[in-house]
Amino acid sequence: MRVSLIRYTPEPELAIAAAARLCYAEIGASQLVEKLTPTQVERLLRQVISSGHHSVLEHASFTFAVDGISRATSHQLVRHRLASFSQQSQRYVSYKSPDYVVPPTVAADADLKQIFDQAVLAAFEQYRKLIEAGILAEDARYLLPNATTTRLAMTMNARELMHVCSIRLCTRAQWEIRELFERVRDEVTKVAPIIGSALQIKCITLGYCDERETCGIRPLREDIL
């Protein structure tokens, strides 16, 4: 899996701080950008994040190149509708060699991994036979397993990133999508450390777990009421 931040709002934290201050200022956002100090920017961002006034976070967006995740994970990913995705098409891209993800639980057992590999490679071999027989890639792809890797571009604003990370960084999320957003968080932190620090699982902020079962990081809500 490879995750790279390829584009983002210039000075994203300054843009958010200026938008937050604008609501109570007599001058415009362009003037605020010139006047705000780094200390003021940090204070404003932390106030916005802690108070729950998250709409201003939508003024900063981040675009990531994601390569090598499985189709199983991309199917989970696109459920987050307040984001933009452009994904490599299996209709128009004909795969010439197998590239797939093996879950750690399978990889840990040599016998089970052999079963997994054989099944994936057999499916791919039949896929190639259909392609070579003249079947369109869009029809041959029905044979490809969920383990097949994909590439995509993903854009989210800071508010949506906070929401998605609050769910997908949870230890109860599946391992691959959790790893994806750990890398997303690392990329954001490089250019926007305050925003990056806010990309955390929701139980940390809530002080309790609101799922049916807790992993143990925080107690269930009913256990502390």
Q: How many residues does the chain have?
A: 225
Q: Strands across the sheet with 61-70, in order? A: 2-8, 61-70, 149-157, 84-87
Q: Which of 168, 178, 185, 218 is catalytic?
A: 168
Per DSSP, 24 falls in state T
Confirm whether 71 is a catalytic residue: no
Q: Rounded to whole angstroms, how far apart are CA atoms 12 and 186?
A: 15
187 with 65: CB under 8 angstroms?
Answer: no
Spell out the residues 6+ positions from residue 75 whose beta carbon is closer than 8 angstroms to its own: 146
Tokens of 187: 């990329």
Q: Rounded to whole angstroms, how far apart are CA atoms 32 and 44?
A: 12
Spell out the residues 6+ positions from residue 59 whose beta carbon is closer than 8 angstroms to its own: 9, 15, 16, 19, 157, 158
160 with 83: CB under 8 angstroms?
Answer: yes
Q: Rounded to whole angstroms, how far apart are CA atoms 19 and 22?
A: 5
Q: How many CB atoms lie within 10 A of CB 13?
A: 22
List active site positions. 168
